[in-house]
């Protein structure tokens, strides 16, 4: 097994789970760690929310031993609030503090945070400096290639983050204007790798162990990050575990129907234990729909997901899925 260090945090050189708002909660993170994710990132927490004492925001920073190594992610556009958020976040014992300067959503960029910071490099540098000064653990930064194709500045941004004290950079190889559409431009990850000396994490369009291997080979990145491809498929990390991306893949077979349903059921049980049945089952609707991708009769089963309200509803759905396969 190959390893790398982000600051003093030792990480297997396989693949890590990306921070995804509304997706990467406790249940998702635990399942991905169990299936081989080398590091997991939490959902982004608002620095303003933390600074003003919002009661819900701190919950996004909580993690357990089964999730470690764990990176807590914060966002905002004020260095003072980001520093204060860093101090609060450390009370939850994360291994890494991650600064979000890549989120493309209007509600985030409209306030000057997320990928809007790509348009204000000086401010981003000040934010990184403030967070690093307030932190006793490594600080990383997640960025995109630029605001749009006419303002690609990823190498410049990466250098500023490095000079400001960041211990690693994650590059989502799309512009803000792309959101999550179009192809990720991996050449930009390679560009950043040549521009800085700190570890570079590549993100974008890695949907399999083979794609992970290709990203390592084509970009020279130090670590690979997987986001949407792990939603409803935490087993994606199984095929990558035990490789550095340059030594081939483990060839872990796609899970059987029973294995898939078992993992899906564990996910829902973790959700319920963490959030209570009423809240968990509302959130389970989207998760279950993702787990059903590619199954026979998936469209009909996804329609049933919209009505999931109790654990019993979920168990009935899984039995119908099993019956559908037994009858065909």
* Structural element, H or E, at residue 301: helix 298-305
Q: Catalytic one among 32, 103, 161, 212? A: 103
Angle between helix 154-163 and 187-195 (nearest 10) = 30
Q: Which residues contact 168 (CB under 8 A, 6 or more apart)?
A: 6, 7, 138, 140, 141, 198, 199, 200, 201, 222, 223
Residue-by-residue DSSP string for 78-142: -HHHHHHHHHHHHTT--SEEEEEE----HHHHTTT-GGGGGG-HHHHHHHHHHHHHH-SS-EEEE
C-alpha span between 80 and 170 (Å, rounded): 23
| First-last CA distance in the chain | 42
Three-state DSSP class for residue 74: strand
| Annotation marks residue 103 as catalytic | yes
Task: Give pairs for 290-295: CB < 8 Å, separation 24+.
Answer: 290/231, 290/232, 290/233, 291/232, 291/233, 291/260, 291/263, 291/264, 291/267, 292/232, 292/321, 293/232, 293/233, 295/257, 295/260, 295/321
Of the candidates 267, 250, 245, the one whose C-alpha atom is nearest the C-alpha of residue 24 is 267
Cis peptide leading into 69, omega within 30 of 0?
Answer: yes
Catalytically active residues, by annotation: 103
């Amino acid at each position: 097994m190959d390893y790398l260090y982000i600051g003093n945090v030792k990480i297997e050189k396989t693949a890590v789970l990306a921070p995804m708002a509304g997706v990467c909660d406790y249940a998702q993170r635990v399942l991905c760690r169990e299936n081989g994710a080398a590091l997991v990132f939490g959902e982004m927490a608002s620095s303003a929310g933390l600074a003003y004492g919002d009661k819900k925001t701190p919950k996004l920073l909580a993690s357990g031993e089964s999730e470690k190594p764990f990176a807590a992610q914060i966002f905002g556009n004020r260095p003072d609030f980001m520093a204060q958020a860093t101090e609060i976040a450390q009370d939850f014992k994360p291994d890494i503090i991650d600064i979000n300067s890549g989120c493309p959503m209007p509600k985030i960029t409209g306030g000057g945070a997320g990928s809007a910071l790509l348009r204000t490099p000086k401010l981003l540098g000040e934010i990184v400096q403030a967070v690093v000064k307030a932190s006793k653990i490594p600080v990383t930064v997640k960025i995109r290639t630029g605001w749009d194709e006419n303002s690609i500045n990823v190498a410049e941004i990466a250098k500023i983050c490095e000079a400001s004290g960041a211990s690693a950079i994650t590059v989502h190889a799309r512009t803000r204007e792309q959101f999550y559409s179009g192809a990720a431009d991996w050449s930009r990850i390679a560009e950043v790798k040549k521009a800085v000396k700190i570890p570079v994490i590549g993100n974008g369009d890695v949907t399999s162990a083979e794609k992970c291997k290709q990203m390592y080979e084509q970009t020279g990145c130090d670590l690979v990050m997987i986001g949407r491809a792990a939603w409803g498929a935490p087993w994606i990390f199984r095929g990558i575990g035990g490789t550095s991306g340059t030594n081939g893949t483990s060839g872990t077979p796609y899970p059987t129907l029973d294995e898939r349903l078992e993992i899906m059921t564990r996910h829902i049980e973790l959700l319920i234990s963490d959030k209570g049945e009423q809240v968990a089952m509302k959130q389970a609707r989207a998760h279950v729909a993702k787990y059903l991708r590619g199954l026979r009769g998936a469209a009909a089963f996804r329609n049933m997901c919209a009505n999931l309200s109790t654990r019993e509803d979920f168990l009935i759905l899984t039995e119908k899925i099993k019956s559908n396969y037994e009858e065909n």
